[in-house]
Structure 1
Amino acid sequence: MFRIFIIFIFLPLLVWAHPMNELEQAYTNKDKDYVPRTQHIDEQGRAKFVNHLILESSPYLLQHAHNPVNWYPFSDEAFNKAKLENKPIFISIGYATCHWCHVMEEESFDDLQVAEFLNQHFISIKVDREIRPDVDATYMNVSQLINGSGGWPLNAVILSDGKAFFAGTYFPKDQLLDILSQIQILWQNEQNKIINQANDIDKVLNKAANNTQGDIDKSIVSKAIKAMLSNFDELEGGFGEAPKFPHESMLLLLIDVHKRHPNDDQLNAITITLDTMASGGFYDTVGGGFHRYSTDNSWLIPHFEKMLYNQAQLSLVYTRAYQLTKNPLYKRIAKQTLDYVLREMQDANGGFFSATDADSEGEEGTFFVWSIQELKRVFNQDEFKHFNHYFDLSSHTDFEGNHVIRFKEINDINEDDYLKIDKLLNKLYDLRIKRLPPLTDNKILLSWNALMVPSLLEAGEIFNEVKYTQAGLALADYLTSFNQDNQFYRVSIDNQLQTIALFEDYAYLANAYLSVFDQTNQQIWLDRTIQLVKDMTQKFWDKTQFGFNM
């Protein structure tokens, strides 16, 4: 079990201040392509507001740099200011390609009434969860304890020592103002009660994190498989109810166990899930790659953002499923996913961007969906007839008046059919790339890129495709550059390293290096793996409570 910690450093006599002229200068210094994201623009086209996030490089934080809310990054400056002014901290956590984060930004954080209240009564902090998953996990635990669930945007109200007493997800403007008003009244009149509540929550979370030494249950894998299968959706695949996430680690475990101890229940869970996910909607049949999750049980209507970690893990799932079953569909999906990543998510320096947005032209999914009229303009009459034969254009695939592209029955299609289908899909792709694309979050994350290495290398070996092998080896070489002066960094933005690496960076990178050693048998990669694991253990192993800290 991983334990989570955040180190707060408080220097009570010193508050780092960034005067407004410094923030304005940082705004002025932005290059000509920089576009402030706000409704508050003056007659010269310049943003009326600028806050401390203008000094950051995270695309998500920069999205909020011109909100009238006086945002701070997660920093000593913000926590010290809260302590000196005796104010609670409003902390909002999200990521650049999150649809509901955008909604709350527009409704609340770019709103003058909300900003005035927050600025008067709170210190406000914005966090990019992809850069600081440790901070995100800490307050996600609070939300799950209080509400039984969590999500993004994740909003919490905390003390200047980091302890939380309130947490939730998306709130409409009026509800947010009502919550903030109630908290402000309590803070003014019953501050000790709030502090006691925060301490109580902290005690419960710390108690849950406490571990005792013991032997690993030898039946833990079989128990895990049994629990998974009990939650398996036999009709549509996947585990649990909507919203449905792909749960790649569960699928990889099922595939691994089925290789060792085959049975029909395991195989059904694998194939039904992979077949339905590949049918379209959750999977981008036109451009390749997977969206983040499905809003329904049948993997039809997704939230349309695409995350690098999903592409890395799902391509590996389909590659190993092909190795297991020899089903050509799985080979097709794995290769299309990797081709999408190589074509559309790779930085000029060799790494891969973290994500693309759900929204474009101010609407979710616009880039990915099609009207019947559009399809009839793209295809001639005969082509449209063939397209309608293979794909479901009924009301079932409707998304706000348009259609996601989904096969009617993917298991009825043979290799010869795909030759015709791909000609049709290529026509759509050629037209789609002329549309205004969703935003790309150009962060290059060490951990997520490390996940891509074994995915590329295994695909290269299993499909006998040299381009994937070469891409995997080149990526592994590139990731060695995240080590500067014997210190690994988590993030690269515009080829600039930042943020000290976390446990997951070390763990995924060690696995990536080991996969390169398996591929090349070069001793240097094994040596790098061993050194990484030593460093990881030294930095993150908890000798008292056991397990690794984040």
Structure 2
Amino acid sequence: MQAAVLPGSEPFALPLQQRLARALAGIDPARAPRTQHRDEQGRPRFSNRLLLESSPYLLQHAHNPVNWFPWGDEAFAEAARLGRPVFLSIGYSTCHWCHVMESESFEDEEIAGFLNSHYVAVKVDREERPDIDAVYMSAVQQLAGSGGWPMSVWLSAAREPFYGGTYFPPRDGERGARLGFLSLLQALSDIFQRDPQRVRLACTAMVQAIRLDLHGSPASPAAAGEPPLPGRDLVDATVEHFRPLFDEVHGGLRRLPKFPSHLPLRLLLRHHRRSGDAGSLRMAVLTLERMAAGGLYDQLAGGFHRYSTDGEWLLPHFEKMLYDNALLVVAYAEAFQLTGRADFARVVRETCDYVLREMSDAGGGFHSATDADSEGVEGRFFVWSESEIRHELASLGEATTRRFLAHYGVRRGGNWEGSNILHVPQPDEQAWAALAGARARLREVRARRVQPLRDDKVLASWNGLMISALALAGRILDHHPYVLAAARAADFALTGLRAPGGRLQRCYKDGQARQDAFLDDHAFLVAGLIDLYEASFDPRYLREALLLADATEVLFADPAGGWFMTSHDHETLIAREKPAHDGAEPSGTSVALMNVLRLATFTGAGHWRRIAERALLAHAAVLTERPFSMGEALLAVEFHAATVLEIVVVWPDGAAATAAPLLDILRRTFLPAHALAGGAESAIDSLADRVPFVRGRRAQGNRATVYVCQQGSCDLPLTDPTALAALLRRVA
């Protein structure tokens, strides 16, 4: 099969035509191509180079009439040869507005023809190349005042930006825009050709601004002196910063849209634990309550959508991201430890069960996301009419149906565009339990609908977050299957996400690992391995965490302190990011900082603490001036300032079950600053080579025993759970 020539383009060279033809022949004929341009047999009329890629996002655009290139030297060499600008489009596979811009502009033959004849068009999956995304997001934020996806950037052949934005409607006047995408393409192409000096000056200014934004300007030692290490006063200041911004009715911040990450929930829990401040706990608890009761949470199947478009957490943007769910599992699990609330534990279980059921890869890892859209309509998979619910629940009886409608706020006219997003106006755990059968019935019905697209690539970073989530959930809820699932994912990451030489890779898809991993991949996976060790007491995971942390220092460390996003041998971009902002995901910096502090406690090795303190000093200016922008790093600041508990649980050989009462106390106690080790007596001494504080610990009186130490000074060994609980209340 031969694809048509793309509008405004010359025919592809014969070798490329042949590669595309082979790729087309390998497509399942039963699978409808994602394009409106099809022939009489339903086959795609157009194909471009993205058909040869493996990224789900790039493959979505493989049949656009745009002559897309993947990011690489070929594209920029072509731009230089033709004397054209580059149009760079960055997005991800489950991005609703990316789909909108594709449908309106990239599927439009007139717009595609102009792009193909005046530009070299490049597509990037931001989830596979966060380094590229960070560089050009900095440009767009400075040019437009804000950023997002789809990201649209105009570049020179030297990869330097001179204009940028996000979504653009296709033509003038549409969606209220004065200038549409086509007019913008025409105007910027004209400026590029007519006034190259203006473009060069704009590029030079933007590159300087990006470098300053992503790496900062190093202060001279004489001017900077030796600033104090960031301390708990910054945590206190951050809590005070959020108090007047807090939504006292619905939780979260009084801003739209509402993201779970806008409020540093885990930091608030720690602030309350240390200070006793009731306001910190109230902000965290109310936010967790209202998010779990809203449409942001999938009331039938568990798991959270990405964000809420309204102030009440009712109207979500319906995509589900692995990282959101991993991070929220940890927040709810810690809140359960602190409050003992059964509803928080339930949300942890439901979210973990959702991930294991719907996001698991056959190899043991986890897929990245599911789309907001199905059948081309946002949210269609998730919403209900009252009549549909009544019909499907009729067999369960009128009383159950009425109770379901009331509990989940179902209205005859709907609460969103004529349909109902299930939510819980008045949370009631007894009602929730009584409606288990009704939820199961509607899950069955929903499963027969057209499913949202699933992005089935496996990312090292997000899998690291999910390993942490499952390990913590399994340990805190005493649910070993979650720990086993975390171990399967870790084993997959440590083997399947490797290059032939052993280097960690970022992505796994279609049986292939690719793309050398970035800082966040290493940092998130190290954190997951440490959490998994504490949940399983399998020393292999602590050993692997240490090896990967060593690799992080070799590849990413800045001698001045902190870490770069890219390694010293990654592709050189126009700027090298040194992450200093926590967004929807924590930065690699913040997680790496916590990792080295935890490893310093486990190993007693001073170099890990020195690495942490250099990083804290390197980011002292940001932490002092804008501590709320690095909320995850403040968790490490709290840890660094604390007297960390070194806890060892040891049991007689063959009697692991006897440690359960002691471990139960530990799992139910919120201990933000600790290192937990354990094992049978015969294993403890070999562990001491890596974890010196376990050396010489023995089970007293042939009973499971716990040792609680602080900086090498230990309380008396305990075998009684009640005594352990009392000790933790005193020292924690």
**Superposed CA offset, 1:170-195 (max 9, x none):** 11111001111110110111011011
- Describe how 1:464-543 pairs up with structure 2 within 5 A: 464-481=478-495, 482-484=497-499, 485-543=501-559
Q: CA deviation at 1:45?
A: 2.1
State how far apart, in whole Å, the 1-side matches of 2:237 and 2:161 are. Answer: 35
From 49, 68, 71, give the equivalent of 1:71.
68
State how far apart, in whole Å, the 2-side matches of 1:246 and 1:389 are. Answer: 26
Contact 1:18 1:52 in 2 (8 A): no
Q: CA deviation at 1:533?
A: 1.5
State how far apart, in whole Å, the 2-side matches of 1:545 and 1:80 are. Answer: 36
Change (3 A) 1:18 1:269: farther
State how far apart, in whole Å, the 1-side matches of 2:476 and 2:116 are. Answer: 57
Unmatched 5+ stretches in structure 1: 1-15
- Describe how 1:116-515 pairs up with structure 2 within 5 A: 116-174=113-171, 175-208=180-213, 209-210=215-216, 211-212=218-219, 214-215=226-227, 216-218=229-231, 219-247=233-261, 250-380=264-394, 381-394=398-411, 398-410=415-427, 413-414=428-429, 416-481=430-495, 482-484=497-499, 485-515=501-531
Question: What code does the residue aligned with 1:483 have?
Answer: R
- Which residue in the other structure is 1:46 paired with? 43
Change (3 A) 1:229 1:548: farther
Question: What code does the residue aligned with 2:192 have?
Answer: W
**Superposed CA offset, 1:53-94 (max 9, x none):** 011011110010010000011111111111121111101111
State how far apart, in whole Å, the 2-side matches of 1:377 and 1:147 are. Answer: 49
Q: CA deviation at 1:449?
A: 0.7
Q: CA deviation at 1:499?
A: 1.1
The yes-or-no answer on 1:102 pairing with 2:117 is no
State how far apart, in whole Å, the 2-side matches of 1:283 and 1:249 are. Answer: 17
Alignment partner of 1:72: what SS? strand
- Answer with 251-260 or 462-471: which moved more: 251-260
State how far apart, in whole Å, the 1-side matches of 2:195 and 2:562 are. Answer: 38
- Answer with 383-392 or 357-366: which moved more: 383-392
- Which residue in the other structure is 1:89 paired with? 86
State how far apart, in whole Å, the 1-side matches of 2:503 and 2:32 are. Answer: 34
Change (3 A) 1:545 1:432: same
Alignment partner of 1:160: what SS? coil
Question: What code does the residue aligned with 1:386 have?
Answer: R
Change (3 A) 1:311 1:33: farther
State how far apart, in whole Å, the 1-side matches of 2:200 and 2:562 are. Answer: 29
- Aligned pairs, number: 533
Change (3 A) 1:240 1:196: farther
State how far apart, in whole Å, the 2-side matches of 1:319 and 1:546 are. Answer: 29
- Answer with 488-497 or 256-265: which moved more: 256-265
Contact 2:160 2:207 in 1 (8 A): yes
State how far apart, in whole Å, the 1-side matches of 2:362 and 2:314 are. Answer: 34
Q: CA deviation at 1:549?
A: 3.0
Alignment partner of 1:124: what SS? strand
Change (3 A) 1:82 1:395: farther
State how far apart, in whole Å, the 2-side matches of 1:262 and 1:127 are. Answer: 47
Q: CA deviation at 1:368?
A: 0.2
Q: CA deviation at 1:323?
A: 0.6
Contact 1:397 1:405 in 2 (8 A): no
- Answer with 268-277 or 29-38: which moved more: 29-38
**Superposed CA offset, 1:22-60 (max 9, x none):** 222222233445432111111232211110101101111
Alignment partner of 1:166: what SS? strand
Contact 2:253 2:263 in 1 (8 A): no
- Which residue in the other structure is 2:32 paired with? 35
**Structure whose CA Rg is larger:** 2
Contact 1:38 1:67 in 2 (8 A): yes
The yes-or-no answer on 1:548 pairing with 2:561 is no
Q: CA deviation at 1:17?
A: 9.4
Alignment partner of 2:285: what SS? helix
Question: What code does the residue aligned with 1:402 have?
Answer: S
Alignment partner of 1:483: what SS? coil
State how far apart, in whole Å, the 2-side matches of 1:240 and 1:131 are. Answer: 33
Question: What code does the residue aligned with 2:210 have?
Answer: L
Alignment partner of 2:260: what SS? coil
Question: What code does the residue aligned with 1:280 have?
Answer: G
Q: CA deviation at 1:265?
A: 1.2
State how far apart, in whole Å, the 1-side matches of 2:413 and 2:272 are. Answer: 34
- Answer with 516-525 or 94-103: which moved more: 516-525
- Answer with 67-76 or 24-33: which moved more: 24-33
Change (3 A) 1:236 1:249: closer
CA RMSD across the alignment: 1.9
**Superposed CA offset, 1:457-487 (max 9, x none):** 1111111111111111221111111123221
The yes-or-no answer on 1:59 pairing with 2:56 is yes
- Answer with 336-345 or 253-262: which moved more: 253-262
Could you tell me the percent identity over the aligned residues?
39
Change (3 A) 1:220 1:18: farther
Question: What code does the residue aligned with 2:542 have?
Answer: L
- Answer with 132-141 or 525-534: which moved more: 525-534
Alignment partner of 1:402: what SS? coil
Higher relative contact order (CA closer than 8 Å, sequence separation 6+): 1
State how far apart, in whole Å, the 2-side matches of 1:545 and 1:532 are. Answer: 18
Question: What code does the residue aligned with 2:319 have?
Answer: E
Change (3 A) 1:107 1:318: same
TM-score (norm 2): 0.70
**Superposed CA offset, 1:331-385 (max 9, x none):** 1111100000001111111111100010111100000000111111112332221
**Superposed CA offset, 1:183-208 (max 9, x none):** 01101110110111111111122233
Question: What code does the residue aligned with 1:406 have?
Answer: H
Contact 1:38 1:47 in 2 (8 A): yes
Change (3 A) 1:343 1:116: same
Q: CA deviation at 1:264?
A: 1.3
Question: What code does the residue aligned with 1:48 have?
Answer: R
- Answer with 169-178 or 421-430: which moved more: 421-430
Contact 1:17 1:77 in 2 (8 A): no
Unmatched 5+ stretches in structure 2: 1-12, 172-179, 567-732
State how far apart, in whole Å, the 2-side matches of 1:156 and 1:456 are. Answer: 38
Change (3 A) 1:391 1:26: closer
Question: What code does the residue aligned with 1:409 have?
Answer: Q
State how far apart, in whole Å, the 2-side matches of 1:161 and 1:544 are. Answer: 29
Change (3 A) 1:534 1:298: same
Q: CA deviation at 1:396?
A: 9.3
